[in-house]
Every structure is written in C-alpha cells, then in structure tokens.
Structure 1
Amino acid sequence: MKLNATEKLALLAEDSRYDLACACGTSAKDRRRRQLDGSWLYPVPLAAGGYGIMLKTLLSNACSSDCRYCPLRHDGVANRCALTPDETAKLFMDYLRKQWLVGIFLSSGIVGTPDHTMELLTDTAAILRRKYRYRGFIHLKVIPGASEAAILRALSLASAVSLNIEAPGARYFSQLSSYKNFERDIVRPLKFLAEQAACGDPRRPVRCSTQFIVGAADEPDRDIVRYTGAIYRKLNFDRVYFSAYQPPKPTEFRLDDGSNDARLTREHRLYQADFLMRSYHFDAAELEFEADGNLDLSTDPKQRWAERHPEFFPVRLNTADREELLRVPGIGPAYADRILACRRAMRLRNWLDIGLKGKAALKAARYAIFS
C-alpha cells in the first residue's frame, strides 16, 4: 500500500523511538517520567499527536548499516519508507502552526552513503531556514562516517548536532557493527565537531552531544563513565546521553524474578553519574563501582560515594564551601547555593532555615552538622 506524506511521517516518527537521545530533560515539560510499576516513559514526539517538545523523526528508516542493536539495520524487518527534504520541511511547518513545538530533531537511517544521508538532512534544514524563514531549534544527527564538509554544513544550519559514540572504545564497538569503524567513523568526526564548535560564532553557539547504547555490548559502566568524563573534559560537549539497549522481544525486558528491568535502572544510574560530573564536580575516577565494574543498581552513585568515604563527613554546614556541600546526600546545587546565601545573613541552626525538609533533610542529617 502506498503511503502519503503524513502516513510516512507517522511511521518514521514512531521508528525514531529507537534513538532515545535527549530523552532526559531538566524541566517538568521534557523530563522522562516513571510509571507506577517503575518503568520509564520517554517523551518522544510522534506525528500521530500527543505531547512533544520537538517533532522527532527519521527521513528514512532504510539503512545500509548492520548495527546489531537497531531493528532498522539493513537485514532487519521493518516497513521501509522515506520522506523527501521538501515533504519533511512542509509537514513540520504544518505541525508548527497547529501545536506548540520548540523545534525539530532530524535523524535517518544511512541511505546509501553517510554523505548522501547528510545531504538529505541538511537540505531539509536549509529549506526550513531559507524557504520558510524558520529561526527555531533544529537538531541534526551527524551520520557516522560523514565527511568534514558535510559536518560543516550541518553546523552552519543547526542549533544542535549529535553523533552517537555508541560504545566506550573500539573493543566494544566492534561487537556492534562491522560496517562502521570506531576511529574513522566515530572518534575522528567527534573531535572535528568539537574543534569546529569551539571556533564557531559565539553569537550562534551550536550545542554538541553524543550517546551510548548501554548494554548492547559487554561494556562495564566504569568504561562508559570514563569515556563520558573525557568527552566533557577534552571535547567540551554539552551533554552525553545513555540509551538502554532494547532487545527485539518485549519479554526480554523482564528479569527472571519479575522485577523491573535492570537495563533501565542501569541507564538511570548512568544519568545520575553523569549529573554528578556535570553539576557536582565529581571526577569520573571518584565514582564507586562494584566488582564487575558496574554501578550499584540499588543505590544512587552519590549515596554510594558517601557510604564509602566516611572520613569526609560530617560536613559543617556553617563553614563548608560549595564543593563540600555538594558531597552531602540530600543537598543539590540549588540547596548548596541557598545555604551559602543564608549563611551571609545568619548562622544556620536547623534544616528549616534553608527550607530542606522531609526525606532529603533526613538523608542530609546523617552526613552534615550545624556548626
């Protein structure tokens, strides 16, 4: 059956769920949500309607690659279709007139070659910018193996770009694909992205991000965290994202004991570790791992660090600096700043002085004193 453009968009937007980058946000509108059974829901926008912060779609779900984690790989079973750049741009502008959207996230399966695919993506962005005078948010996925010229064109049109690193090193990456080469197709363009973003126009900064596919290979969390720290430190990327590998059979999402999926809990712990590095000034080498090199699934990484470093506590709330305050379980950046502000006006005597109460106050009380 021949599909019209709207039907294609519905199918391609649905298939974009296999790319979960940007699934975790920081505001109430874009944050992923947990159901009562503990499973995570991602705010992936679909053409069929419903809430979305961005219209997120593929231009094509046909792909030349062989990524073992992706149902859309060249030998996978999928209802293949594609949109032209003109169709995609027109459909987005139609949706923009009907509902609130902050922008568009464009990705694609590899259509023939990486550069041909990049041409389709950047042509779409160019039509939006020039034909429709769209000045909003455009996120373009950089295809592994894309040339420097293709990347430069993407940077000239996009508000944000991303290239999935997929795995922490060539050893693990080789388990995912024989089509792509880790150094040539991933590392080299990631470095080029960082260099070009750093020397770009400061009046129009382009955000750069990457993503790991967690659990598709036998990689431990320790290696993912180490690579994540290096991406922030050496490449100065804005964000690193983590997507739990999604097996083809839904039943594989359950553990033998029937409890919630450990894969998604592992993904969540990696996001917590990432937040410690980005906002709490932890170094990747400081985080604590189990004997198998993975983060403890039962305890958040900050709590585990506190449990294994009793010598650091108690922290004196009336004299500690911001870095010390951020090490206290229950105290985040907002409360650390509030403590510092309150201290300038008065001596802190209890948790009510800074508005911390409930479970957070009980947790913090184990590790901090008012002196």
Structure 2
Amino acid sequence: MNTMRKMQILSDTAQYDLCDYVNHQKQSRPNLPGIYYSTGSNGCQIPLFKVLMSNKCCNDCKYCVNHKDRNFTRMELTPEELSRFFLNYYQNNYVNGLFLSSGISGDIDSTMEKVVEVARLLRLDYGYNDYIHLKIIPGASKDIIKRAMGLANRVSVNIETATPEGLSELTTTKDYQKDILRRLKWINRIHSKNPKYAPSGQTTQMIIGATDETDEDILNRVKWLYKNLNVKRTYFSSFQPLQETPLENLDEPHPQRSGRLYQADALINSYNFKIDELVFDDSGLLNMDQDPKYTAALNMDIFPLEINQASYKDLLRVPGIGAVSAKRIIAIRKKRPFQKLADLKKVGVVVSRAEPFIKLKGTYQMALDNY
C-alpha cells in the first residue's frame, strides 16, 4: 500500500482524537489527507496535520474504532515516512502544525518511542520549530513523557470518563488512577518545574454518552482537572456506535449534548462559574434547549443587575455579556455611565439576550416575563 493511501486511512481514523471543539468528525480530502482545523484563542482557523502513527492496538476500549478485536486493515507508519510527509505539507503551506497520536503497536513505551522519534526528527534533524501536539498513551513511563514534553508544544492524555467506574465500563486494559490520572499529574509537575516542557500545557478528552455518567459528573471532573492539574482544555467527543465494536447497538447521545458541555465548560474555565451555579435536571443533565448561561441566570437572585455598578464577576453572569465586553464596560463607565442599550451594543454586548437581566441608571430595561 502506498504512503498516500496509508495516510488517508490513518488520518481519517485520527478524527476521533479531537483538536478542535467545532469541526468534529470530518474526513479530510483524498488528495490532501490529514488536514484538520483547530480554532485558536482569537477565533482563527489553524490547519494541522492530524494522523495516527498506527491503528494497531492491544486495548479493548468498547467504543473505539481501533478496538483490538475489530476486523479491519491494520497498518503503521515509520517515524521517517511520517516526518517527511508532514514536512512536505508544511513546506507547501498546507498546515501550520502536527497533531500526532497512535494506537498501541507492540507495548506502550515502544509505541511512544516512535511517536517521540517523529518529534525528534522534526526538531533536531530537520530544524522544524513550529507547533507539535503529542498524544501521550495512558500507562507511558515518566521518562518518555518528559522526553515528549521536551519536544512538543502541547501534550494530552485522554481521560475518557469522569469516574473510575465509567472507565471500567469501557475497558479492562486501562486503570483510571494509575494509567491516566497519574500521568496527568506527572505532566503537570514536569511543566510546573520547567515551563519549557510542553509550554502550551496539557489538554484531555472525554467520551460523551458511552456510559451513564451525567453532565454534572463530567463537569465536576472538568472543574477538578482545571483546579488541580492545570489542564488547559477538555474536549468532548460524542459517542458514535461503530460496527464490530461492543457498543455498536448503543444509542448516540442527544446531538446537542456535547455542545452544551462545551458551553458549560467555558463558564467554568473562562468565567469561573461554580458547579452549583449551573442547572441540571433530575437526571444530572443540562438543558438541551437553552444554553447553560441562560438557564443559570434564570435561577440567580442578582438580577436585574445595574450595569454601571456591577462587579466584573456579576457582569460575566449576564447572558449576552462576555469577558471582553465586561472589561470594556468597566473601563468605559469609569469615565461616563452607560445611558442606553445602544451604548452597550457598541462594546459588544448581545443586547437582545442581556436586556431582561439588566438595569441602566436604575431603569429596568425589560421585564423577564416579557422576554
């Protein structure tokens, strides 16, 4: 099989490892396999070369396309052919970085050696200095994790579930505490001691809907990861029933569920919301019909909020006001108070959403009952 065809297969399989919260589960073009897009903090789309080193795997993750008992064509790339293929893309300005993961071909550390060798070849032999994200395989040794972090901008370990019990439902070959949480802790310690190791920090990923874990379970774990392990971002991968896997007959989760989790995650990670400020139903799930910031606002007793006096923390709890517009409000009102809704619109407030929750110079703009 030629290299292009191998790249197509291994890059399409890599779609299940997420590098973006918008463009999930899209195959790359046959003539340019492996090009996927990540959204930067400024909203720009960043093209990455995303591929698996190997789709061979000895794990039995029940949801996974690479499940050890699944019958399909297995293959792997050598570090040399992968690095050369990537450099061709990079030198032709097709991509701005590399996102590399792998199934377990052989044992864990021998597979990680190949992944790290790709980064070593690019950095030291070819002089490549741009972005590299390496997936750390659960169970990898501390030494090889540190070596990976010395070469990569960012690393990640997929936590997969919110609880040890959830992971035990999905696999018998991984231990939640030893293989995953311990590795996340190692990464945090290595980076904390020397920020040059994986300078962009670490991320993780969860599978949504493959177990009975609730949104409340998931977000409690997310909050813990951000607070205790300095995880930069959590990606939510909606479970998909795949043929010839043990969960092929399980229903997919609600199509809005991952999106609501991303919205709630942003409230926790960027707006410093507490879990008990969010609203869950009796099953521990978020409202699928309304975004979590709006449902949270309906249950807060701080509204209507006086725009010209409210704290930054409280402004962030107003639907339609984000971090940028909240900072602008505070800066501008030091010079002059806001007089009308049009003034708020000019600083980026989504007035149609904010209006029922605010007052301007003591005047309630719209009763929530009329919204």
Structure 2 CA distance for aligned equivalents of residues 272 and 210 of structure 1: 16
2:331 to 319, 341, 344: 341
Structure 1 CA distance for aligned equivalents of residues 96 and 166 of structure 2: 35
Where in structure 2 are there 5+ consecutive unaligned residues? 38-46, 362-371
1:14 counterpart residue number: 12
Over 3 Å counting, the alpha-carbon distance change for 1:62 and 1:203 in structure 2 is: closer
**Cα offset for 1:80?**
1.2
Q: Give the TM-score of the pair, scaled to structure 2.
A: 0.88
1:36 counterpart residue number: none
Structure 2 CA distance for aligned equivalents of residues 324 and 348 of structure 1: 17
Aligned length, in residue pairs: 346
Structure 2 CA distance for aligned equivalents of residues 285 and 171 of structure 1: 23
For residue 272 of structure 1, give the secondary structure of its aligned residue in structure 2.
helix
**Cα offset for 1:100?**
3.4
Structure 2 CA distance for aligned equivalents of residues 165 and 272 of structure 1: 19
1:23 and 2:20 correspond: yes
Greater CA deviation, 266-275 or 197-206? 197-206
Matches within 5 A, 1:257-268: 262-268=253-259
2:270 to 246, 266, 279: 279
For residue 88 of structure 2, give the secondary structure of its aligned residue in structure 1.
helix
1:303 and 2:301 correspond: no
1:364 and 2:367 correspond: no
2:343 to 335, 338, 353: 353
Over 3 Å counting, the alpha-carbon distance change for 1:51 and 1:198 in structure 2 is: closer
Deviations 1:196-248 (A, max 9, x none): 11111459724201111111111111110000000000011111111111111
Contact 1:44 1:56 in 2 (8 A): no
Contact 1:23 1:43 in 2 (8 A): no
Moved over 2 A (4+): 41-52, 201-204, 252-255, 261-264, 354-360
Structure 1 CA distance for aligned equivalents of residues 194 and 307 of structure 2: 42
1:289 counterpart residue number: 280
Over 3 Å counting, the alpha-carbon distance change for 1:204 and 1:297 in structure 2 is: closer
For residue 264 of structure 1, give the secondary structure of its aligned residue in structure 2.
coil
Greater CA deviation, 170-179 or 198-207? 198-207
Matches within 5 A, 1:81-100: 81-100=75-94
Structure 2 CA distance for aligned equivalents of residues 223 and 302 of structure 1: 18
Structure 2 CA distance for aligned equivalents of residues 283 and 358 of structure 1: 25
1:75 and 2:66 correspond: no
Structure 2 CA distance for aligned equivalents of residues 254 and 265 of structure 1: 17
Structure 2 CA distance for aligned equivalents of residues 297 and 356 of structure 1: 31
Matches within 5 A, 1:70-149: 70-149=64-143
Structure 2 CA distance for aligned equivalents of residues 363 and 291 of structure 1: 27
Matches within 5 A, 1:212-231: 212-231=206-225
Q: CA RMSD in A?
A: 2.3
**Cα offset for 1:65?**
0.4
2:31 counterpart residue number: 48
Structure 2 CA distance for aligned equivalents of residues 178 and 202 of structure 1: 35
Structure 2 CA distance for aligned equivalents of residues 356 and 107 of structure 1: 44
Where in structure 1 are there 5+ consecutive unaligned residues? 25-31, 34-40, 256-260
Q: Give the TM-score of the pair, scaled to structure 1.
A: 0.88
